[in-house]
Amino acid sequence: MASDGKDMESDVSRTVSAVLYPDLVELGGLVDALEHVASEMGVDLGRVESASSNPKGRMATARMHSDRGPILIHLGKEDRLFLISVEGATHPWAAGSTDDLQNVVGVAGAWRSGVTLRELESRFPFMEHGELAQAQEEGDPVQTQWRTLLREESRPVLQELIRVFHGDPGFRRFFPYLSMGTLCLARDISDRRAGEIRIAPTETTYRVQSTTSGEEREAVSIVLALDAARTLEGRS
């Protein structure tokens, strides 16, 4: 037997707070509410879908697409807040929150239309972006990321690892980031298929891996780790 409107509203209210989000409960959840408000505002959001694999995700999460990556929306649990994250290939372009669903539609529509980060933040002051996102938009994310890691990483073994690899002219052109205690050097920030060199300190050695070839080497010092990475890159 098909569910009627009251059944649907009951399902939504069990997932979404009717006190904080009465409009979402009335309209059938976050995805449907975004589509409704966008239609009223005349804003093209493209396809709006759930950002969750959970069947109830349509009620409390949303994902929209742009040429620069997805726009993700989640709901605040304690207060009425729409949490917005404009995602990029390796880090968010911008993030922010608002209690107004029209603002959410405005942000998504503006980003999809191609506004710059500064324009986005000027029109929607609750949205913020960082130094790396600005550098990527301006075409220089690699050296900005190196400067950030050299400035902020406090663990001595990783700080030394970053310093040594930054000192190599070849690897200085790679995009560096840290993941689970491993220094990852991406050949092309815009193309994950280009592969990475990864250097993971262990208690006694450094494990060096090329994700392209799957080859792996062990080195007993940072200098030898650099040599191993050069070998895996074909630069020995």
Per-residue pLDDT of the chain (236 residues), as tens digits, is 344 544 445 556 567 889 999 999 999 999 999 999 999 999 999 999 999 887 777 789 999 999 999 999 999 999 999 999 999 877 799 999 999 999 999 999 999 999 999 999 999 999 999 888 898 888 888 998 999 899 887 789 999 999 999 999 999 999 999 999 999 999 987 777 789 999 999 999 999 999 999 999 999 999 999 999 999 998 65
Structure token digits, residue 117: 């980060």
CA quadruple 121, 127, 132, 138: dihedral, nearest 10:
-30
Residue with tokens 């405005």: 106
C-alpha of 69 from chain center:
9
Q: pTM (2 decimals)?
A: 0.71
Pairing of strands 92-98, 127-128: antiparallel
Q: Indicate if the alpha-carbon torsion angle 46, 47, 53, 58 is positive or negative.
A: positive
Instruction: Report the number of secondary-structure helices (H) and strands (E) in the chain.
Output: 10, 10
141-152 helix and 131-138 helix, angle to the nearest 10 degrees: 160
Q: Counting every residue, how long is the chain? A: 236
Identify the DSSP state of 49: B
Structure token digits, residue 236: 């020995």
d(CA 74, CA 95): 12
Residues contacting 150, CB < 8 A, separation 6+: 159, 162, 163, 166
